Amino acid sequence: MRRILLSAIKILVSAALLYFALRKANFADLASRIDVASLGWIALAIAVTFLQIFIGVLRWRIVSAECGAPLSVRQAMRYNLIGTFFNQTLPSSIGGDAVRLWLVARAGAGWRAATYSIFVDRAIGLIALAVIIVATLPWSYHLIGDQYGRYALLLVDFAALAGGVGFLLIGVLPWPWLKKWWGTHHIHACAVIANRVIFDRHSGPKIAVLSLLVHVLAVVIAWCVVQSIAAPVAFGQIFQLVPPVMLITMLPISIAGWGVREATMGLAFGYAGLMTNEGINISLLYGAVSFIVGTIGGLVWIVSAEKAAKGAKPIGVPE
């Protein structure tokens, strides 16, 4: 009953935010700007999205191996593609993580190792996103003239960065109760793994490059969408506006980020002195690209052995 209620709330949040955001959308204008060249840019955006997923796979494999849940490239790619499908269907922008966790656990890694690999991978991605936003703050402050917009940007980034740094600190603090208390035991274990992966001289540079590249590719996808409708937005502006929007979209308060992404993108464009309508158009097409890739992930799920055996008892779960 509680899950149904939470799902219903998230559906209502998505619907409400989409309603308020789309009131300013001009669908006739958007449709008139889509032609054969636009489809080429959309196809490129889809291709870049697959590349982004693959880069995420390479990072996840490093993390998973450290967590005791080693994955092959093919296996991790398949799980990530399936995850993109469930990201579009479950009540959250990160719903696919729960499915990836289930798949890894069923593959024999066990629930603890699977959970740790997903949690640490997501935490590292969040930290990298916060770092990118901090690095672009000098230019963002110049772009965003609205005082409240600047405050909002600082608040969101500070919260994400503080959460990431706090998480890593838990792994190095010498307090025994962090390892023993039920409320911090697993978080401490994940933090230890994250510190080991990030600051290791071999895996650290790889993790840094892969994590930053994942988010840079998100900007490239948005840029392809911009080009598809010839929106009057520069690449530098997209680079400054998209990461904060993606950070907010990660909040599990809607269905696949729909509504939250459109409302936030429109608001960000308005604060930056750009056309709010263009921000909504870009967000809608970005969501459409994600939906198409998610549909392909759904096909992977349909033909997967895991779906065929979904009624079987998961490996590693005691009788």
Which pLDDT does position 317 carry in this prediction? 38
Angle of CA points 278, 283, 288, to nearest 5°: 125
294 exposure class (CB count in 10 Å sphere: 0-12, 13-18, 19+):
buried
DSSP state of 244: H
φ/ψ of 184, rounded to 5, equals: -125, -5
Widest Cα–Cα separation across the chain: 63
Which pLDDT does position 174 carry in this prediction? 85
How many other C-beta atoms lie within 10 A of the C-beta of residue 84? 26
CB of 72 closer than 8 Å to CB of 79? no
Tell me the mean pLDDT per 10 residues along the chain, length 319: 56 59 65 83 96 96 94 94 84 73 88 93 92 87 80 84 91 87 89 94 94 96 93 90 85 65 81 83 90 92 74 41
CB of 252 closer than 8 Å to CB of 93? yes
Q: Tell me the C-alpha distance between 312 and 300, whole Å.
A: 19
Angle of CA points 318, 90, 288, to nearest 5°: 140
Which pLDDT does position 12 carry in this prediction? 66
Supply the pTM of this predicted model. Answer: 0.85
Q: Tell me the C-alpha distance between 294 and 279, whole Å.
A: 22
CB of 255 closer than 8 Å to CB of 11? yes
- Classified as helix, coil or strand, 212 is helix
Q: Tell me the C-alpha distance between 243 and 238, whole Å.
A: 9
How much is the CA Rg of the chain, to the nearest whole Å?
A: 20
